[in-house]
Structure 1
Amino acid sequence: MAGHSKWHNIMHRKGRQDAKRGKAFTKAAKEIIIAAKDGGGDIETNARLRAAVQAAKSVNLPKDKIENAIKKGTGELDGGEMFEVMYEGYGPGGVALLVDAATDNKNRTVAEIRHILSRNNGNMGEAGCVAWMFEKKGTLYFDKETYSEEQVMEVGLEAGADDIRDDDDAWEVRTAPEDFSDVQAGFETAGMNPTSAEVSMLAQNNIDLDTAQGVKLIKLLELLEDHDDVQKVHHNANVPDEAFEEYAG
């Protein structure tokens, strides 16, 4: 999507207006449970857990809830029966969609995601139908008004980043997934705070949407991300500014 930071800012502003704090807590806790289940409860040796805990802190998940989520993932507490699933499909204008979800009931979740897609100009696809269009990368975004390109480039390249790009009002730093934690730590040591930081699936080639298609896609993405089991939605669309303005207005 053209303008990650624009999308990020609009969705988070709407999130505050819609009082979605509880959903953010739920999603953060689920990611911690899965990360701990997958790689153990030590944040020093489990890079995914370390990133999940940092993300949870960024949405102000209380310390005791973070600790309990880790214990659920390692089996020290009940409630850690969580499955990581990915759904593939298409949205308005033929946009490719990858939906990351964490659920304790796969049948319920797939039925609900299929329903959201079918009612909002999308449809569920077969496994593998669009995943090949994406590449797993770590991404960090830094506000241009706070940091210069030289600052971001100096720290990022020293820490092991692959690439630094101009993304509207933010600098985008890309890393290999295995280097994400080291690069994030490098910026933390330098006292530089990203507006967002995550390991994500990035489209290798994007398609352009018109304003009407863009508005439909934004609505669909918000409905998907509002679902309790959905952790993240990835797509390959360039959405025109007019669509953001029409949707936000």
Structure 2
Amino acid sequence: MGRHGTIVNRKEKQDAKRAQMFTKYARLITVAARQGGSDPEYNAALKNAIDKAKGINMPNDNIERAIKKGEGGMDGANFESITYEGYGPNGIAVIVEALTDNRNRTGANMRYYFDKNGGNLGTTGCVGFLFDRKGQIIIEANNKINEDELMEQALEAGAEDFIAEEDGYVIITAPEDFYTVKNVLGQKGYEFVSADVAMIPQTTVKLTDPEHIKLMNRLIDMLEDDDDVQEVYHNWEME
């Protein structure tokens, strides 16, 4: 399975949550456009948000609307990025990245999700040191991809690491090299299951108690179902 879950699973999960992902990515695009301008050529964060949205077939109308919203500061919503850290059942480390227009609501929700699932919300920095911030590009295997060639192209473009898994490839970069590596591989025609700067656990932890596994799955689901939550990272080694 590897530390990334199976790549195919990840794809299926994204498809299943597509409508909800539209809401999240629209918010991400709006905030990126508001902070760095509406031209993706000069705003890498916006370009990445648009690429992510296109990756789940979000209609261009939705994308345009989200950019305009950011440009005009429409709807007065003032979103801020907040990172929450905490523990799942059996001390699993969890990091949640949120974009919210109401930190009180989001904070209360986070506390509830953790408490309800055998975990607890911690203080900033309590688990962050267990993760490294890295660019991560995930590509699904297919018979057109030559593994050696892809590895060579990724490393040549500036990637730090190349991991071959059963059903695909994971390319790791330093955060500052992420956009370059992504652009080089994108121009060569590779399609990404996901491409983003992520918090990658230094080591992973197994859960053996079925009750803990059930709670951890439910914690992840509750967090991901919250519109304010953009990303959930953890160091649970999913079987």
Whether the 8 Å CA contact 2:133–2:197 is kept in 1: the answer is yes
Shift of 1:179: 1.6
Q: CA RMSD in A?
A: 2.0
Change (3 A) 1:233 1:195: same
Match of 1:232 in 2: 231
Q: Distance in 1 between the 2:119 and 2:165 partners?
A: 27
Whether the 8 Å CA contact 2:98–2:231 is kept in 1: the answer is yes
Match of 1:10 in 2: 9
Equivalent residue letter for 1:41:
S
Q: 2:141 aligns with which of 139, 144, 159?
A: 144
Q: Distance in 2 between the 1:168 and 1:99 partners?
A: 28
- Structure 1 residues 170-196: Cα deviation after superposition (integer angstroms, max 9, x where no partner): 211011112211111111111111222
Equivalent residue letter for 2:188:
A
The runs of 5 or more residues in structure 1 that have no matched partner are: 241-249
Q: Distance in 2 between the 1:42 and 1:208 partners?
A: 44
- Structure 1 residues 39-74: Cα deviation after superposition (integer angstroms, max 9, x where no partner): 222211111111100001112222122122222223
Q: Report SS of the residue matched to 2:107.
A: helix
Q: 1:207 aligns with which of 197, 205, 208?
A: 205
Change (3 A) 1:161 1:11: closer
- Structure 1 residues 157-180: Cα deviation after superposition (integer angstroms, max 9, x where no partner): 222211101234221101111221
Whether the 8 Å CA contact 1:40–1:46 is kept in 2: the answer is yes
Count the aligned residue pairs: 237
Q: Distance in 2 between the 1:92 and 1:229 partners?
A: 22
Change (3 A) 1:144 1:65: closer
Whether the 8 Å CA contact 1:72–1:80 is kept in 2: the answer is no
User: Which aligned pairs between 1:162-177 and structure 2 lie closer than 5 A?
Assistant: 162-177=160-175
Q: Percent identity?
A: 41
Whether the 8 Å CA contact 2:28–2:49 is kept in 1: the answer is yes
The runs of 5 or more residues in structure 2 that have no matched partner are: none
Equivalent residue letter for 1:100:
E
Match of 2:188 in 1: 190
- Structure 1 residues 65-124: Cα deviation after superposition (integer angstroms, max 9, x where no partner): 212222222335334521111111000121111001111111011111111111112111
Equivalent residue letter for 2:227:
D
Match of 1:66 in 2: 63
Equivalent residue letter for 2:231:
K
Q: 1:86 aligns with which of 83, 91, 103?
A: 83
Whether the 8 Å CA contact 2:154–2:171 is kept in 1: the answer is yes
Shift of 1:12: 4.7
Relative to structure 2, which stretch is displaced further, 106-115 or 164-173?
Answer: 164-173
Q: Distance in 1 between the 2:129 and 2:217 partners?
A: 23
User: Which aligned pairs between 1:113-124 and structure 2 lie closer than 5 A?
Assistant: 113-124=110-121
- Structure 1 residues 26-46: Cα deviation after superposition (integer angstroms, max 9, x where no partner): 011111122222222221111
Output the TM-score relative to the length of structure 2: 0.90
Match of 2:152 in 1: 154
Output the TM-score relative to the length of structure 1: 0.87
Shift of 1:3: 4.4
